[in-house]
Amino acid sequence: MNKLLAQEIYYFMVLGRNFEYAAKENYMQGNVSGFLHLDIGQEAFSVAAMKAFEKGDIFATYREHVMAMARGIEPKAVMAELFGKAEGVSGGKGGSMHLFEPSRFFYGGDAIVGGQIPNAVGCAYARKLQGAEDGVMVIFGDGASNGGAFFESLNIAATHKLPLLFLCENNEYAIGTNIKRSAPFREQAKKAEPYMMTLSVDGMKAEAVYETIKEAQKLIEDGHGPIFVEAFTCRFEGHSVSDANSYRSTQEMSHCKAKDPLVHFKKELLERWMCSDKELQEIEQKAQTAVDEAVAFAKNATEPNVAALFEHVFVEEV
């Protein structure tokens, strides 16, 4: 990582945090509806993973706004989607949980827990068959690693030595259930060990996430087959905006918030990359402007035409 990249990562982390707060505010005001899963607290993980895995295909979950933006999808198009507008990245049909942009190799936004993992395996198979340079990265939670789709995918990906990065975001919770109550151990990488090489990383530290994903990517490029990376993170909010987060004590929350990835990475920038306060302020300002513009854009964007209801059921008319 160099200074320029560190600054770019910081920009997307601040953008992500401010975007999520703006999304929440607009949810409270009734401009955004449905399920809204915020990524606050996990920005280092989401941004650094995307920046490290720059090119290949991405399969993500419903908690994907920050990843989508770090992947190059415009904040305006993401916010407009949350507002259900025609200019949204999914035309207002998907909403917060279903952001799709194949031109950025970003395939959702899947809201069936674990459902995207077999899709990523299939895509990795295609890439291998095509002799493509870039592999596939699939992001899922600790909760998803208890499901059948996950175990089947480990087996198939390893059997075919597929170019697939399994990226587990272990925030220790599936809605209100702690991973220690739904699995015999906290570390989900243990499940992958018999099948593939595993790496684990502190997901609250952007530089560490970046380096680990780069390392995994290199191993995949060298033909090692699939690699499993586990990042330990902590979400600062409830599971979604409608979850009161009552199952975590104040003590647990303050322990969690003490690991704020923005605070940590800002310190890195100041100390390790010798950024000036002014430089960082400019970045923060730029990020806030992007969020303000995204909200203004979403507010002024157009409602989809009712005829859109019947569009895109199929590719071909019969």
Partner 1 sequence: MLYREALNKALDEVMAIDDTVVTLGEDVGLYGGSFRVTEGLVEKYGEERVIDTPIAELSIVGNAVGMAIGGLRPVAEIMTGNFSLLAFDQIINHMAKLHYMSNGKVILPMVVRFPQGVSKQLAAQHSESYEQMLCSVPGLRVLSVCDVNYAYHALKYAILSNDPFVFIEHELLYNKKGEVNFEEQLDPFKARIVKEGEDITIISYLKMVDDVMQSVPAIESALNCSCEVIDLCSLNPIDYETLAASIKKTSRLVMVEEDHKTGGFGSQVVAWAAEEMFYELDAAPLRLAGADVSIPYNRTLELASIPTPDSIAQEIIAWGRKNDV
Query: What is 221-234 written as a DSSP string?
Result: HTT---EEEEEE--
Per DSSP (E only), the strands in 29-156 are 57-61, 100-101, 106-110, 136-141
Q: Does 41 bind Mg ion (CB under 5 A)?
A: no
Handedness of CA 228, 11, 35, 302 (dihedral sign): negative
Q: Does 116 bind ligand TPP (CB under 6 A)?
A: no
Q: What Å distances lie between residue 126 and 21, 160, 196, 197, 214, CA to CA? A: 38, 11, 20, 22, 22
Nearer to ligand TPP, 22 or 149 (CB): 149
**Residue 33 contact, options ligand TPP, Mg ion, partner 1, none, Cβ 5-8 Å cut-off depending on partner type:** partner 1
Decide if 162 contacts 225 (C-beta within 8 A): yes
Question: Which of 66, 113, 120, 241 forms a contact with ligand TPP (CB under 6 A)?
Answer: 113
Q: Does 111 bind ligand TPP (CB under 6 A)?
A: yes
Radius of gyration of the chain, Cα coordinates, nearest whole angstrom: 19
Residues 46-75 that bind ligand TPP (CB under 6 A): 63
In three-state secondary structure terms, 101 is: strand
Across the beta sheet with 197-202, the strand order is 100-101, 106-110, 57-61, 136-141, 164-170, 227-232, 197-202
Closest CA to 201 of 176, 228, 229: 229
**Residue 63 contact, options partner 1, ligand TPP, Mg ion, none, Cβ 5-8 Å cut-off depending on partner type:** ligand TPP
Q: Does 141 bind Mg ion (CB under 5 A)?
A: yes
Binding site for partner 1 (CB under 8 A): 33-35, 84-85, 90, 92-95, 97-98, 110-114, 143-144, 146-148, 174-177, 181-183, 247, 303-304, 306, 308-310, 313
- Smallest gap, in angstroms, from Cβ of residue 100 to partner 1? 12
- Smallest gap, in angstroms, from Cβ of residue 31 to partner 1? 11
Question: Which of 112, 126, 296, 309 forms a contact with ligand TPP (CB under 6 A)?
Answer: 112
Distance CA 196, CA 224 (A): 9
- Smallest gap, in angstroms, from Cβ of residue 96 to partner 1? 8
State the residue number with the nearest CB to ligand TPP: 141
- Smallest gap, in angstroms, from Cβ of residue 118 to ligand TPP? 13
Distance CA 15, CA 282 (A): 12
Q: Does 173 bind ligand TPP (CB under 6 A)?
A: yes
Backbone angles phi, psi at 167, to 5 degrees: -115, 105
Residues 230-289 that bind ligand TPP (CB under 6 A): 239
Nearer to ligand TPP, 85 or 98 (CB): 98
Q: What Å distances lie between residue 271 and 26, 265, 267, CA to CA? A: 36, 10, 6
- Smallest gap, in angstroms, from Cβ of residue 265 to partner 1? 31
**Residue 92 contact, options ligand TPP, partner 1, Mg ion, none, Cβ 5-8 Å cut-off depending on partner type:** partner 1
